[in-house]
Structure 1
Amino acid sequence: MVFLWPTLLWLLLVLPLLVLLYLWLLRRRKAAAVPYPGLALVRQALGPGHGWRRHVPPLLFLLGLAALLVAAARPLAVLQLPSQQQTIILAMDVSGSMRATDVQPDRLTAAQNAAKAFIQDLPRHVRVGVVAFAGTAQLAQLPTQSHEDLLKAIDSFQLQRGTATGNGIMMALATLFPDAGIDIAALGGRQSMRVRPIDEVGRADPAKKPFTPVAPGSYRSAAIIMLTDGQRTTGVDPLEAAQWAADRGVRVYTVGVGTVQGELIGFEGWSMRVRLDEDTLKAVALRTNAEYFHAATAQDLRKVYETLSSRLTVEKKETEVSALLALAGAALMLLAAGMSVWWFGRIL
């Protein structure tokens, strides 16, 4: 724990002085009682509990004062608080390689089941959008709080040719930032796509302010989770797309599903070996200040989504707890006064 005003902690030295003052008053009161033997009869009438009871209110008062003095120093503590994340975009690979069975029952089904479990565990205030990408990228579901609509969108996936991982990221960004200058038509088509350089965004419309990149990972209102099992075969360079995300502060968490050695599969008359491009996925996550996860089994994939759920809905923050300590201190002092009045008919 750290303090914004640590010099005020010197006030805690008052506490031992108060303890010494209290002991001195007790000794003085005891000495004053010696000439009056009748006081012993009064103590006997009050019962055996009276001896320890008289020390409880001063002790509570002292603890309350200590809490108030610490609160005055404005302590900071690292607490787990609800995340400010409001929107999560799931960018999911639906290329033909997702039919591989090295992840049981197959990669696509395992990914769908894990994604649906992830959505069900999210708080209702978090909006989720779904992007499906193969050779092209499409927005399968606009960001919504309706878990039912999201589950339907995930169940409707159909396998396609090609793997355009960069397009998946760009479509997710276009959903989060509609005015970012991203050509949605090109993302959804098979033609080559050109996005304007970062410094050109905003020049076409003089009324708009020029775009200014922010620190990677600094945008706390949204995040992208990209799940893929293969290497990019078409579309935008994923590292270029990652740079777009980084300059807007959006984290892109990447999940590689399948085995590193890959598997030989057949799809629409084609035979291919599908491998994980872990180097690129790691680079995308690193560039956007996020993380890469590898899921070689369906159980691994579920654990990855559980981890992401905890990362995106709860975050550790250094928070000032002065108000909590002040409230605790005031409550202790009121309790001390109330007990003193109840037991002895006076305040301390």
Structure 2
Amino acid sequence: MKLTWPAQLTWPAGLPQPNFLWPQFLWLLLLLPLLVLLYVWLQRRKKKLAVRYASLAIVKEAAGRPGWRRHVPPLLMLAALTALILASARPVAVVALPSNQQTIILAMDVSGSMRATDVEPNRLVAAQNAAKAFLKDLPRDVKVGVVAFAGSAQVAQLPTLNRDDLVTAIDRFQLQRATATGNAIVISLATLFPNAGIELQQLSFDRARAMGRSLDQAPPTAKEFIPVPPGSFTSAAIIMLTDGQRTTGVDPVEAAKMAADRGVKVYTVGIGTVDGETIGFEGWSMRVRLDEETLKAIAQKTAAEYYYAGTAQDLQKVYQNLSSRLTLEKKETEVSALFALAGALLALLAGGLSMWWFNRVL
């Protein structure tokens, strides 16, 4: 629960209000001023008793050694008690921890429009270079798979820890016609869940609409499927990079619903010209434009994010950002152990200094 401060106390503006699981223990902090007053009273009482002795040596012994050092151990012990009281209240904080995501699918567009040179040296090469740099930044225990899509989608490399195999698969990309972004999501899901009965042939756009059922409805032979909250499956994620809009295949928004129902986040990366550009490919002339609305809808539906990369440098930054987001995630974590450790170290330091300087413990 969140600490509720008394009406007469105000928390400094601009600082996050602390959270404690057991805030009632914070009332023990009121004992600290009493301990300070007790310490001051004992020091004054010691001086009053010292004046009764005639011998100056006895007076010094009773009053204690002069100087600031005699106050250091008590102050350290007071700090130790403060840390231990805070630890007893079980503080929690939002910290960045290693993510438990173990598999990432890179779904990359290899349609003819990726030969455009508005992103130097061209969109495909820039995407390949950024993807390979992304692999270098990932922890070695994260599996990565590669799905290439154009008019159809196919697995270029099954999820693996071998970065060399992944680089080889990315370097083998061949440009093709058309763009099937929905197919890329479905094939990526089938790769993540090989035993779930996800088959693209049974989920084609035309057949699903003709039979009057949604794309997420399982075929009669598939296992019973129970949807989960979007983004709740934290063991895998999909990153889809494309420069065009869907021209064939499964509706990408329907495919995104499949991913959302399985809790898988689909991060979308748009590359190229938003307004559109005419591209020549194998004697064909076609005008392509980036369908940002659909890519944003896919990311939003799956509780992920959309990124736009207009240049090769932007694309590199996007992948760097994704690498940090997928390998580190912010979680509200109890940090009582840190306060308890600090309290124990301060107490040991107070006792050690007291023994060193005065041959006694406080």
TM-score (norm 2): 0.88
Q: What is residue 255 of structure 1 aligned with on the other side?
A: 269
Report the Cα distance in structure 1 between the residues aligned to 2:271 and 2:288, rounded to whole angstroms: 11
Q: What is residue 23 of structure 1 aligned with on the other side?
A: 40
Identity of aligned residues (%): 70
> Which of the numbers 43, 47, 52 marks the counterpart of 2:68?
52
Q: What is residue 93 of structure 1 aligned with on the other side?
A: 109
Report the Cα distance in structure 2 between the residues aligned to 1:158 and 1:194, rounded to whole angstroms: 30
Alignment of 1:265 with 2:279, yes or no, is yes
| Change over 3 Å in CA distance of 1:203–1:337 after alignment to 2 | farther
| Change over 3 Å in CA distance of 1:202–1:275 after alignment to 2 | closer
Alignment of 1:174 with 2:212, yes or no, is no
- Which amino acid is 1:315 matched to? E
- Which amino acid is 1:250 matched to? V
Which residues in structure 2 correspond to 1:315-330 (within 5 Å)?
A: 315-330=329-344
TM-fit CA distance, 1:42: 7.7
Where structure 2 has 5 or more consecutive residues not aligned to the other structure, the ranges are: 1-17
| 8 Å contact from structure 1 (residues 193, 236) kept in 2 | no
Which residues in structure 2 correspond to 1:199-218 (within 5 Å)?
A: 200-201=217-218, 204=221, 210-218=224-232
Note the aligned Cα RMSD (angstroms). Answer: 2.4
Q: Deviations over 1:270-313 (max 9, x none)?
A: 11011111111111111111111111111111111111111111
Report the Cα distance in structure 1 between the residues aligned to 2:207 and 2:163, rounded to whole angstroms: 32
TM-fit CA distance, 1:262: 2.1
Alignment of 1:305 with 2:319, yes or no, is yes
Q: Secondary structure at the match of 1:77?
A: strand
Alignment of 1:231 with 2:245, yes or no, is yes
Report which stretch shifted further, 100-109 or 49-58. Answer: 49-58
- Give aligned pairs, total: 341
Report the Cα distance in structure 2 between the residues aligned to 1:158 and 1:94, rounded to whole angstroms: 7
Which residues in structure 2 correspond to 1:331-346 (within 5 Å)?
A: 331-346=345-360
Q: What is residue 84 of structure 1 aligned with on the other side?
A: 100
- Which amino acid is 2:286 matched to? M
Q: Secondary structure at the match of 2:67?
A: helix
| 8 Å contact from structure 1 (residues 222, 250) kept in 2 | yes
Where structure 1 has 5 or more consecutive residues not aligned to the other structure, the ranges are: none
- Which amino acid is 1:285 matched to? A
Which residues in structure 2 correspond to 1:131-170 (within 5 Å)?
A: 131-170=147-186
Q: What is residue 3 of structure 2 aligned with on the other side?
A: none
- Which amino acid is 1:88 matched to? I
Q: Deviations over 1:246-277 (max 9, x none)?
A: 00111101111001122211112211011111
Q: Deviations over 1:110-147 (max 9, x none)?
A: 10011111111111111111100011111111111222
Q: What is residue 12 of structure 1 aligned with on the other side?
A: 29
- Which amino acid is 2:199 matched to? D
| 8 Å contact from structure 1 (residues 77, 318) kept in 2 | yes
| 8 Å contact from structure 2 (residues 205, 215) kept in 1 | no
TM-fit CA distance, 1:334: 1.5
> Which of the numbers 33, 36, 40 marks the counterpart of 2:50?
33
| Change over 3 Å in CA distance of 1:199–1:310 after alignment to 2 | closer
Q: What is residue 63 of structure 1 aligned with on the other side?
A: 79
TM-score (norm 1): 0.92
